């Protein structure tokens, strides 16, 4: 059975050299990719094979706040990095000259110089004038540029380590400082608290002061008005005392006159008293005679009245007898002798008798009553005269008593007026003195009033001042309270650290960010990371080699009547088979010789084959369309892709032009897809890359078909090419 | 066989021309290649385009085959306008030999060449050729050679012998396992011619028959072409083969026609391309 690809391949079966050529085609990508990756598989792991010099000129320094303890940081650093396997390179302590020479010769790849003041500077971090300690790393780009870069990293690691210890040391001191701050602040807080208490008391006191001052002010007000009154009074007193003095003088004159007058009065009164005494004796005799008259009148009265009363009684008894017994017996006779005219006459006589009796009785009674009233009038008249006599007697007695008393009184008055006159003399003198005093008093009260007015002003100011003071004291109270609270809160926030805590914290602050580098989808080695790029490169070169040996299309078929698509396909399939073989061999070598491992093996292989398929289609197109020039184009494409595929540094770091062309070149997608598959990760990227590569392959194949179709027409130039490659 | 040949020769005269050109001209940057050529090749006829090296023979043949654009003129392949429907023309005109374009692959065996061409002629859904298919094709070729040998056998002893047929036979071994590099020039010529004829095209063009260095080979080549034309007519009367051949010197054709005599009586058309001043550049040939 024959098929076109197989026929194309069978061309190479004939000679040993062509068979070898096939092997070379298959192996060349492996050689290219394998050799490069092998030499760069894990270069950073072997940096310790590079010699580097360390020159220690550090003279050491005394640690601060210690008893002469010395710090030899330079020597410590040397001890730290010179042991094998530490500090990145194979460090050796040398002299400065040796190091310079070694660096120049290329014996040493780096020289680390520790300056003489290294320890001193480190120590200075805890002192008053901190300075940064300096280290110097020298490399020589003339010997190796990359090592210079790596050495930079190593230096920053060393620097990081040193910073960590020195910073921790320094920060430890800072934390000690915190403890001091804490205790001092505590004192301040206590003081503030005391101040607050005091301010509270002060505030109370000022409150009382305000009350007191207010009362004082009121009192002074009262005092002031009182003083005004007093002043007025003193004025009046002054005036009054003046009048008094005048009056007293007048009085003195009067009393003297009265004294003289009373002497005369006393004499007169003695004479009156003698007269009255005689009058009295006469009045007593008259009274005794009136009493006798009265007794005689009474005897008259008493003898007349009982005779009348007996007459009245007798008439009354007679009438009663007549009226009672006689009536009844007349009546009886009238009944027994109703018609007898004697009886009737008797009855009429009896009745006339009775009526005479009655009228007699009546006249007796009237005489009695009249006697009685006469008696009463007499009695009254006698009594009235008697009373008047007695009263007159009594009044004369009294007159006499009075006159006696007046006589005595006038004597007394006289003696009293003598005293009064003497007293008035003294009074006049006293009143003069009083007036003088009152004048002085008035002056004094006027002054006192002025003073009280001033005092009032002062007391008002005192009240104002006291109120202000009270307000101020209130504020002081509040403020000191806040201060005390604030200080207490602040105190609570000021941490204290014990020794362990301090050390722990110092370490944390020295390296506050513990930067753990976490790589997603980490590759095992540098070479594995680069493999995506170099596999792509190798496959591109494989494609170039393939179509250097293979015909891009079976040219003679162009002049048959076979369709162009068939011709293009016939040229592509052998290349594709070589590509697949290249992939297989390449991965076999990477896996078995370099410990390569892909994240997704099957997909990596399939994707790589797709990459090969794509690259080979590009090469077929180049060669089919342009012949030898096509191979040059492929080479130029290779260069462009190396620059723009982002195989080493991301393409974003390259100039803009590379970023622009990057997506249009297949290697970009080959690299991104392979990278994802080798390292693992988002398979979407790989799928995307695969789709792009498939499209590019299809595009190239279609283009090749078009090329084939056009190649079937020959131009004169083709027939007579000016340049044959 | 004779009668058939006659009949077919007559038929050729009756039908419309296989190729007809009027004012067929090609000029390039270096000047005119050929100008104002009128040519009518009858169906089943043979056209000989003569001209010295650099006279534009190859260009002319390719232009007729629809593989090079002319700058002026009218051309028809049967009913097909060559300039307008070059693609269709390419399917109808096979190129037997154009140096540098149809070169055989030295490292292919005869069988591989045949297989390759066979696969390409098959529809797209059949991208392979089984051994049996190949054997059929090889059998057909072998039959052709046998019949050619028979025709030569019938000739009066003279210029061609059966030996000539064997000399031309590239099927050295039964399975065609011989490599092309082991073939003689004549055998290669016939292999190319055979491959071109495999699709049974109406027209085959062959450039520069003179590349066969030996005069005897050239005569054999001409004779082969003529004999194959006859065989094609006899096998498939409806579809005769028209051949356009270029050469510097067609004297060997005369020998062939003379030798074959009535066995091959081609409707011969001759075209003389005028020599041009040598191009400033060297030819690839």
DSSP string, A103-123: HHHTS-SEEEEE-TTHHHHHH
Contact A713 B30 (CB under 8 A): no
Touching A: B residues 245-264, CB under 8 Å: none
pLDDT tens, residue by residue, B151-181: 888 877 777 777 887 788 888 787 778 888 8
Cβ count within 10 A of residue A468: 12
Q: At what angle do helices A628-644 and A666-679 cross, to 10 degrees?
A: 50
The two beta strands, B72-77 and B93-97, are unpaired
Residues 6+ apart with CB under 8 A from B267: B9, B12, B13, B42, B44, B45, B46
pTM over 0.90: no
Contacts of A712 in chain B (CB under 8 A): 67, 90
Contacts of A553 in chain B (CB under 8 A): none
Contact B129 A716 (CB under 8 A): no
B220 touches chain A (CB under 8 A): no
Distance of residue B90 Cα from the nearest chain A Cα, in angstroms = 6
Can you give A139-184 as a three-state secondary structure string? ECCCCCHHHHHHHHHHHHHHHHHHHHHHHHHHHHHHHHHHHHHHHH
Across the interface, which of B28, B94, B127 has its CB nearest the CB of A560? B94
Q: What distance in Å separates the CA atoms of residue A633 and residue A638, rounded to the nearest whole number? A: 8
pLDDT band at B7 (very low <50, low <70, confident <90, very high): very low
Q: What tokens does A259 get?
A: 């004294």
Q: What distance in Å separates the CA atoms of residue B200 and residue A725, rounded to the nearest whole number? A: 35
Low-confidence ranges of chain A (pLDDT < 70): 64-67, 125-128, 511-512, 514, 720-725
Contacts of B131 in chain A (CB under 8 A): 1-2
Half-sphere exposure of A447 (CA within 13 A, CB side): 6
B267 touches chain A (CB under 8 A): no
B123 touches chain A (CB under 8 A): no
> Do the beta carbons of residue A168 and residue A510 sit within 8 Å?
yes
pLDDT of residue B67: 87
Across the interface, which of A11, A555, A713 has its CB nearest the CB of B107? A11
Q: String of b and e for A620-654 (b: at least 16 CB within 10 Å)?
A: bbbbbbbbeebbebbeebbebbbbbbbbeeebeee
pLDDT of residue A125: 67
Contact B86 A713 (CB under 8 A): yes
B98 touches chain A (CB under 8 A): yes
Test the B interface: residue of A553, A568, A627, A714 with most B CBs within 10 Å: A714
pLDDT of residue A555: 80
Give chain B's largest Cα–Cα span.
53
Cβ count within 10 A of residue A288: 9
Q: What distance in Å separates the CA atoms of residue A400 and residue A282, rounded to the nearest whole number? A: 12
Q: What is the end-to-end Cα distance of chain A in Å, rounded?
A: 35
Give chain A's largest Cα–Cα span.
237
Contacts of B104 in chain A (CB under 8 A): 556
Contacts of A7 in chain B (CB under 8 A): 108, 112, 115-116, 119
Contact A560 B120 (CB under 8 A): yes
B95 touches chain A (CB under 8 A): yes
- What element of type H or E holds A673? helix A666-679
B78 touches chain A (CB under 8 A): no
Contact B128 A563 (CB under 8 A): no
Contacts of B30 in chain A (CB under 8 A): 716
Test the A interface: residue of B55, B90, B132, B285 with most A CBs within 10 Å: B90
pLDDT of residue B15: 54
Q: What distance in Å separates the CA atoms of residue B254 and residue B272, rounded to the nearest whole number? A: 16
Half-sphere exposure of B183 (CA within 13 A, CB side): 30
Closest CA in chain B for residue A713: B67
Distance of residue B261 Cα from the nearest chain A Cα, in angstroms = 32
Across the interface, which of A3, A715, A720 has its CB nearest the CB of B128? A3
Q: What angle do CA A114, A84, A141 make, to 5 degrees?
A: 55
Contact A3 B127 (CB under 8 A): yes
Q: What distance in Å separates the CA atoms of residue A121 and residue A112, rounded to the nearest whole number? A: 17
B62 touches chain A (CB under 8 A): yes
A570 touches chain B (CB under 8 A): yes
Across the interface, which of B26, B68, B201 has its CB nearest the CB of A561? B201
> Do the beta carbons of residue B172 and residue B108 sit within 8 Å?
no
A39 touches chain B (CB under 8 A): no
- What element of type H or E holds A47? none
Place of tokens 């030899």: A72
Q: What distance in Å separates the CA atoms of residue A563 and residue A576, rounded to the nearest whole number? A: 20
Q: What tokens does A44 get?
A: 């950073």
Q: What distance in Å separates the CA atoms of residue A692 and residue A607, rounded to the nearest whole number? A: 12
Across the interface, which of B115, B121, B128 has its CB nearest the CB of A562? B121
Touching B: A residues 264-293, CB under 8 Å: none
Distance of residue A715 Cα from the nearest chain B Cα, in angstroms = 6
Contacts of B102 in chain A (CB under 8 A): 556, 559
Touching A: B residues 143-202, CB under 8 Å: 179, 195-196, 199, 201
- What element of type H or E holds A216? helix A145-321
Contact A11 B108 (CB under 8 A): yes
Backbone angles phi, psi at A92, to 5 degrees: -135, 135
Across the interface, which of A562, A567, A713 has its CB nearest the CB of B68? A713
Give me the sign of the Cα torsion angle A39, A40, A46, A51. Answer: positive
Across the interface, which of A1, A554, A561 has its CB nearest the CB of B90? A561
B119 touches chain A (CB under 8 A): yes
Q: Comparing C-alpha atoms, which of B57, B180, B168 is closest to residue B117? A: B180
B108 touches chain A (CB under 8 A): yes
Contacts of B103 in chain A (CB under 8 A): 555-556
pLDDT of residue A606: 92
Give me the sign of the Cα torsion angle B116, B121, B127, B132. Answer: negative
Closest CA in chain A for residue B31: A716
pLDDT at B250 over 60: yes
Contacts by A170-174, CB closer than 8 A, 24 or more apart? A170/A125, A170/A126, A171/A505, A171/A506, A171/A509, A171/A510, A172/A502, A172/A503, A172/A506, A173/A65, A173/A126
pLDDT tens, residue by residue, A301-321: 777 777 878 877 887 887 777
pLDDT of residue B282: 44
Contact B116 A716 (CB under 8 A): no
Contact A15 B199 (CB under 8 A): no
Test the B interface: residue of A9, A720, A722 with most B CBs within 10 Å: A720
Q: What angle do CA A156, A162, A163 make, to 5 degrees?
A: 85
Half-sphere exposure of B254 (CA within 13 A, CB side): 4
Contact B117 A562 (CB under 8 A): yes
DSSP B120-186: HHS-TT--EE-HHHHHHHHHHHHHHHHHHHHHHHHSPSSS--HHHHHHH----STT--SBGGGS-HH
B112 touches chain A (CB under 8 A): yes
Closest CA in chain A for residue B281: A722
Q: How many H-runs (helices) and E-runs (strands) does chain A carry?
A: 17, 7
Distance of residue A700 Cα from the nearest chain B Cα, in angstroms = 20
pLDDT of residue A697: 95
B104 touches chain A (CB under 8 A): yes
pLDDT of residue A637: 93
Place of tokens 């005769």: B240
Q: Does the interface ipTM go beyond 0.90?
A: no
Contacts of B127 in chain A (CB under 8 A): 3-4, 566, 569
Touching B: A residues 509-568, CB under 8 Å: 554-563, 565-567
């Amino acid at each position: 059975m024959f098929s076109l690809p197989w026929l194309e391949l069978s061309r190479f079966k004939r000679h040993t050299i062509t068979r070898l050529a096939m092997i070379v085609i298959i192996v060349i990508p492996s050689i290219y990719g394998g050799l490069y990756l092998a030499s760069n598989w894990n270069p950073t792991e072997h940096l310790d094979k590079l010699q580097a010099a360390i020159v220690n000129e550090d003279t050491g320094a005394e640690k601060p706040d210690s008893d002469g303890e010395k710090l030899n940081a330079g020597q410590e650093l040397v001890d730290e990095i010179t042991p094998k396997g530490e500090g990145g390179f194979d460090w050796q302590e040398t002299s400065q000259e040796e190091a310079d020479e070694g660096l120049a010769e290329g014996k040493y790849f780096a020289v680390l110089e520790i300056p003489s003041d290294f320890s001193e500077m480190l120590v200075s971090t805890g002192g008053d004038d901190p300075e940064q300690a300096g280290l110097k790393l020298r490399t020589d780009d003339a010997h190796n540029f990359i090592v210079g870069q790596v050495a930079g990293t190593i230096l920053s690691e060393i620097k990081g380590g040193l910073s960590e210890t020195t910073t921790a040391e320094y920060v430890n001191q800072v934390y000690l400082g915190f403890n001091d701050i804490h205790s001092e602040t505590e004192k301040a807080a206590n003081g503030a608290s005391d101040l607050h208490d005091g301010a509270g008391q002060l505030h109370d006191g000022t409150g009382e002061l305000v009350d007191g001052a207010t009362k004082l002010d009121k009192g002074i007000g009262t005092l002031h008005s009182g003083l005004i009154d007093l002043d007025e009074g003193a004025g009046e007193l002054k005036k009054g005392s003046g009048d008094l003095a005048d009056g007293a003088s007048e009085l003195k004159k009067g009393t003297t006159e009265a004294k003289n007058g009373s002497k005369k009065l006393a004499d007169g009164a003695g004479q009156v008293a003698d007269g009255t005494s005689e009058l009295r004796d006469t009045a007593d005799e008259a009274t005794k005679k009136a009493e006798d008259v009265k007794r005689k009148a009474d005897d008259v009265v008493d003898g007349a009245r009982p005779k009348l009363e007996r007459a009245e009684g007798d008439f009354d008894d007679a009438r009663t007898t007549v009226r009672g017994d006689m009536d009844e017996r007349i009546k009886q006779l009238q009944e027994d002798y109703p018609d007898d005219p004697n009886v009737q006459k008797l009855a009429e006589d009896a009745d006339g008798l009775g009526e005479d009796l009655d009228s007699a009785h009546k006249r007796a009674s009237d005489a009695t009553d009249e006697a009685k009233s006469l008696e009463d009038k007499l009695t009254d008249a006698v009594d009235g005269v008697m009373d008047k006599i007695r009263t007159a007697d009594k009044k004369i007695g009294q007159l006499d008593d009075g006159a006696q008393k007046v006589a005595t009184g006038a004597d007394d008055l006289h003696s009293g007026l003598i005293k009064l006159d003497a007293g008035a003399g003294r009074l006049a003198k006293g009143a003069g003195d009083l007036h003088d005093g009152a004048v002085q008093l008035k002056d004094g009260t006027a002054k006192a009033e002025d003073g009280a007015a001033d005092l009032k002003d002062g007391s008002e100011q005192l009240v104002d001042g006291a109120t202000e003071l009270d307000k101020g004291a209130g504020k002081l109270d509040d403020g000191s309270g806040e201060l005390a609270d604030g200080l207490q809160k602040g105190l609570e926030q000021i941490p204290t650290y014990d020794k362990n805590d301090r050390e722990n914290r110092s370490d944390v602050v020295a390296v506050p960010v513990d930067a753990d580098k976490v790589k997603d989808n980490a590759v095992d080695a540098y070479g594995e990371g680069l493999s995506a790029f170099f596999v792509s490169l190798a496959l591109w070169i494989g494609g170039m080699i393939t179509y250097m040996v293979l015909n891009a299309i079976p040219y003679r078929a162009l002049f048959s009547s076979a369709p162009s698509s068939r011709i293009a396909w016939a040229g592509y399939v052998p290349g594709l088979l070589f590509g697949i073989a290249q992939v297989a061999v390449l991965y076999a070598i990477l896996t078995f010789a370099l410990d390569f491992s892909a994240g997704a093996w099957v997909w990596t292989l399939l994707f790589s084959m797709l990459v090969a398929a794509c690259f080979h289609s590009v090469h077929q197109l180049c060669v089919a369309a342009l012949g030898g020039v096509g191979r040059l184009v492929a080479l130029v494409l290779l260069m462009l892709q190396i620059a723009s595929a982002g195989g080493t540094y991301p393409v974003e770091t390259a100039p803009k032009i590379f970023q622009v062309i990057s997506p249009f070149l297949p290697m970009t997608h080959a690299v991104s897809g392979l990278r994802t598959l080798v390292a693992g990760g988002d398979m979407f990227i790989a799928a995307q890359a695969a789709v792009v590569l498939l499209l590019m392959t299809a595009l190239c194949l279609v283009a090749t078909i078009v090329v084939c179709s056009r190649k079937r027409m020959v131009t004169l130039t083709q027939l007579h090419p000016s340049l044959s490659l | 066989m004779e009668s058939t040949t006659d009949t077919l020769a007559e038929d050729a005269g009756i039908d419309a021309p296989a190729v007809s050109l009027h004012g067929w001209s090609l000029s390039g940057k270096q000047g005119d290649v050929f100008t104002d050529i009128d040519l009518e090749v009858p169906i089943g006829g043979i056209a000989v385009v003569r001209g010295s090296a650099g006279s534009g023979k190859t260009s002319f043949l390719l232009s007729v085959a629809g593989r090079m654009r002319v700058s002026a003129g009218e051309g028809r392949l049967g009913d097909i306008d060559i300039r307008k429907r070059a693609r269709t023309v390419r399917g109808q005109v096979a190129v037997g030999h154009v140096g540098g374009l149809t070169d055989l692959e030295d490292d292919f065996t005869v069988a591989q060449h045949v297989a390759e061409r066979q696969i390409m002629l098959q529809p797209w859904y059949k991208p392979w050729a089984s051994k049996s298919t190949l054997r059929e094709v090889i059998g057909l070729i072998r039959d052709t050679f046998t019949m050619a040998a028979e025709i030569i056998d019938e000739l009066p002893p003279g210029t061609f012998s059966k030996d000539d047929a064997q000399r031309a036979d590239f099927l050295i071994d039964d399975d065609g396992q011989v490599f092309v590099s082991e073939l003689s020039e004549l055998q290669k010529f016939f292999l190319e011619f055979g491959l071109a004829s495999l699709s049974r095209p109406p027209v085959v063009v062959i450039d520069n028959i003179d590349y066969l260095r030996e005069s005897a080979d050239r005569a054999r080549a001409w004779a082969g072409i003529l004999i194959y034309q006859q065989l094609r007519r006899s096998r498939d009367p409806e579809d005769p083969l028209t051949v356009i051949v270029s050469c510097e010197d067609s004297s060997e054709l005369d020998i062939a026609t003379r030798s074959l005599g009535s066995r091959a009586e081609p409707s011969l058309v001759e075209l003389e391309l005028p020599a041009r001043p040598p191009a400033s550049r060297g030819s690839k040939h």
